[in-house]
Amino acid sequence: MERKQKITITAAVAAIIVAVVCVAGFYTKAGPVHQLTEKGKVAVIRVNGPIVGGDDDPMRFSSSNVTTSGSLMREFRKARKDQEVKAVLLRIDSPGGSAAATQEAATELERLKKSGKPVIVSMGDTAASGAYWLSVYGDTVYANPSTITGSIGVYMSYYDLQGLSQKLGVSEEKIKSGAHKDIFSPFRPMTEEERQMTQTMVNDMYDQFVAVVAKGRHMDEAKVRTLADGRVFTGAQAQQLGLVDKMGNYYDALADAGKRIGANPDNVPTVEYDHSVSWKQLLEGNSSLSQFIRSQFSTDTAVPLPLLLMKGVLQR
């Protein structure tokens, strides 16, 4: 019995020591404490890879090399409703993507701006086409001198496989409800009427794009159209043309956002949303248990795990 008591006491003392060390480590690191107690924060929202429609599901084993309109809308809404968030840093490294998906996300971004929270944009390697569409909502847009940006325009494509199918002896038969139901069929030529219909759709989307750029960049639409022929620009060229505001990297943009909320530009409190670790990543060993737990609480990785678990239990 005496031996069992000693083991119990030893285990209890060890647990207390671990807890004390964790708490001490937490309070001696100004960054995490600052992030948990500071009332004014900058929400960092990232657009990485092509912009596509749909939604992110942590249980669906999808690639992280794309940004979905669903995830962007969710993050913009969280930032708008988060009372501790006073400004947003939109970090973009994307070649663009679906016009409809971009518009869908842009609607929530506009609502976020109308709530009174400034949006600072930081361009990485690329912020072109649909990604530039999102950029123009920024109160201040930063780019690097060699950032690839612009590409203001729209296109629709389809494949013509008639020659190949003939060589392979493959033909298509279809029963359709209307003359244009198979307008983008790769097994027949597009008629002149269909080509005009498609061009009209492209022109409509293009006009919408131009209008968004003109409004966001405070430029005349006629001036925008001289730049909106699909060409890309370097960041330095874009600044000269009025498409971006300043040269600077991510930390320059973050410092700008920090100043707007009265924070120390060298130690800006930030928050990020929607960076879930999937069960598949955990089971395959591509993520640690602590990373998985932290992702479920959507918190900074610098917070010690024991305090994180305690915080999660108290919030439930």
So which residues are the catalytic ones?
129, 181
CA–CA gap between residue 93 and residue 104 (Å, rounded)? 19
pLDDT for 115: 96
pTM confidence score: 0.73
CA 170 to centroid of chain Cα atoms = 43
The structure tokens listed for 301 are: 């990785």
CA 41 to centroid of chain Cα atoms = 18
pLDDT for 167: 85
Residue of 130, 71, 73 lying closest to 97 (CA atoms)? 130
pLDDT for 243: 98
Residue-by-residue pLDDT tens, the chain, 316 positions: 565 565 565 556 555 544 544 444 444 333 333 344 445 899 999 999 999 998 865 444 444 588 999 999 999 999 999 999 999 999 999 999 999 999 999 999 999 999 999 999 999 999 999 999 999 999 999 999 999 999 999 988 888 888 888 888 888 888 889 888 888 888 888 899 989 999 999 999 999 999 999 999 999 999 999 999 999 999 999 999 999 999 999 999 999 999 999 999 999 999 998 655 555 545 655 444 554 555 554 444 444 545 444 444 344 4
CA–CA gap between residue 273 and residue 300 (Å, rounded)? 10
Burial class (CB within 10 angstroms; exposed 0-12, middle 13-18, buried 19+) of 316? exposed
Per the CB < 8 A criterion, the answer to whether 271 and 40 are in contact is: no
Q: List the domains of the chain with CATH numbers.
A: 38-151+231-274 (3.90.226.10), 158-214 (no CATH)
pLDDT for 38: 46
pLDDT for 79: 96
